[in-house]
Structure 1
């Protein structure tokens, strides 16, 4: 079954990419998941073999609920890869293998509630949240500068926080720039980016690209690409308006039936594994965006350090590891890397 799917994906790729395009170097990234322990060179080799030239390193902070203003980070209760020490170890090892880094600190709400819904009920709590979030982001801005990180992401999917406190975010960017001298972005949710007010202060328009593109149980290349057209036109126009490249700070699909209908879905229901759907949707996205000069590249969601122990034919989660989608990504990443 796996062999037939790989043959199908390869055939679709050859047919759809027959036209010659100019090679461009892109940000060919993976979202590298933190682990309990330090990592070794053998954990980096699969990233290199994928043709990736970037990895997003994601230290987490934690809040108790959506209305809680205090953030906890860099504690002894966190996994090693989520702490400052772990982040530095990961970055150093990736740099030694010529993999650049986007440092992307993120909030985790207890029970996995959506960070975009974070909202305080009192002005005093908003102030506490702002101070706590600044401590978190500025601490990792220092890590980014000291570790010579190429891109720093100032937040991920925090639409209510931004909608309610836009002046705070403008001030935060000023403070970050006093510390960190590299490129900046923010990871806006797919339905959030058009109202994010500070793109002109950043280097990339960052989008977590979970756009609905195909409602079928098993999508086709042509159907998925058709489903991208309205979204793509809007994204391109937005890039032109702000004179900034688009960066998919996250992109990816589950290997599951109806994977293109609501790609942001993270529930653990045990639906039918559909490796072909993941591969086709991934290919359609790469074909639509990777050749565009207004598009910087992106980071596939998500990549685990123990490559041989994750993914595979029975996994319906996001990782492309040990699935046909991995080969689709490898083909594109190696094509768009100089």
Structure 2
């Protein structure tokens, strides 16, 4: 797979293989297996084997989205006394969904398994999550991570039941379009303090399960953004975002690494990189930044995700 070979050439040692299925709407209690909308098991097996042939470790990351277009963070039900049966049904269905992929991760030798991504409204259901994690541990014997959304990490009380504390670290460290690396570093420092406090509270390493921003002017002010397609290309802003967070977190002993969002299955031609304003870094300044840091990692014997 050409895209995987190019990813491996950056010096990366891990990939998060992310794929999704769709429930009908954010209030549905059933999560279907719909191969018209998600990768087949054979697709996943092929991708994992291709990655492993290149020496990459794999975190399998199944995700549930909603057909109504509402962000998965809103999946759930009103906090009313009569809502608990709906929560029970949803977690039962979600447990079946996750168990299927946990079994696949075990069979394929995936080195990590992600049990959820940015499911903010569900996170208060402490006992449901604890039971779900126990169920998954009966199937998959590798490390388990949950991918919180930036800003919601501190509200989760069951992080002591996972092996790594994960977050989508789309923190708006650029306070204005074209922010410098130095300005971004200053804004990463309080984030580092928050992450260090999470580690101290739960005794678990912290990993950025998603992090990145588009190569577009102003995107470091809203790193999660993919909608403002009118913004002009800015390789510098993306490179500053990458360089700043690497400098701030690289040497922290409690920090486990970065899964950069994202690296497309089908990449653009390298000569088109300077006109591309997406999250991909292939052929851009941010890729050169990453390669330099990962070369340093190889010399120092460090492992970065």
Question: TM-score, normalising length from structure 1?
Answer: 0.83
Supply the distance in 2 between the matched residues of 1:76 and 1:302 (Cα, whole angstroms): 23
- Check conservation: 1:58, 1:103, Cα contact below 8 A: yes
Query: C-alpha deviations, 1:222-249, integer Å up to 9, x for none?
Result: 1000011111111112212222111100
1:111 CA drift (Å): 5.1
- Counterpart CA distance in 1 for 2:70 and 2:280 is 21
Question: Which residue of the partner structure matches residue 84 of structure 1?
Answer: 41
Contact 1:59–1:83 (Cα < 8 Å) also in 2 = no
**Matched residue SS, 2:138:** helix
| Change beyond 3 A, Cα 1:314–1:104 | same
Contact kept? 2:60, 2:105, Cα under 8 Å: yes
Please state whether the residue corresponding to 1:171 is helix, strand or coil: helix
1:252 positional shift: 0.3
Verify: 1:224 aligned to 2:181, yes or no.
no
Measured in 1, the distance between the counterparts of 2:184 and 2:268 equals: 30
Q: Which residue of the partner structure matches residue 186 of structure 1?
A: 146
Residue pair 1:190, 1:209 contacting (<8 A) in 2 also: yes
Match of 1:3 in 2: none
- Alpha-carbon shift at residue 123 of structure 1 (Å): 3.4
User: Which runs of 5 or more structure 1 residues have no equivalent in the other structure?
Assistant: 1-39
Preserved CA contact (<8 Å) 2:26 2:68: no
Correspondence list, 1:164-313, <5 A: 165-309=125-269, 312-313=273-274
Which whole-Å deviations, capped at 9, do the CAs of 1:5-26 have from their partners, x for residues lacking one? xxxxxxxxxxxxxxxxxxxxxx
Name whichever of 240-249 and 107-116 sits farther off.
107-116
Q: How many angstroms does 1:278 deviate by? A: 0.5
Answer whether contact 1:301 1:319 (CA < 8 A) is retained.
Answer: yes
Contact 2:22 2:37 in 1 (8 A): no
Counterpart CA distance in 1 for 2:295 and 2:69 is: 34
Give the number of aligned pairs.
294
Instruction: Give the distance between the partners of 2:3 and 2:182, measured in 1 at CA.
Output: 36
1:334 aligns with 2:295: yes
| 1:271/1:68 CA distance change after superposition, 3 Å | same
> Who is 1:315 aligned against?
276
**TM-score (norm: length of structure 2):** 0.92
307-316 or 241-250: which moved more?
307-316
Distance in 2 of aligned mates of 1:176 and 1:183: 11
Contact in 2 for aligned 1:46/1:307 (Cα 8 Å)? no
Cα distance, 1:268 vs structure 2: 4.3
Q: Tell me the alpha carbon deviations over residues 148-168 of structure 1, each in whole angstroms, 9 at most, x when there is no partner.
A: 1111010000110122x2211
Alpha-carbon separation, structure 2, partners of 1:290 and 1:153: 22
Contact 2:210 2:258 in 1 (8 A): yes
SS of corresponding position for 1:50: coil
SS in 2 for 1:302: coil
Work out which of the residue numbers 34, 44, 65 in structure 1 matches 2:4. 44
- Separation (CA, whole Å) in 2 of partners of 1:326 and 1:277: 13
* 8 A contact 2:176–2:218 mirrored in 1: yes
Alpha-carbon RMSD: 1.6
* Partners of 1:188 and 1:207 within 8 A in 2: yes
Counterpart position of 1:160: 121
Deviations 1:48-97 (A, max 9, x none): 11101000011211112221222123x33135xx2222111111111111
For 1:205 and 1:143, the matched residues in 2 are separated by 22
| Residue pair 1:69, 1:120 contacting (<8 A) in 2 also | no
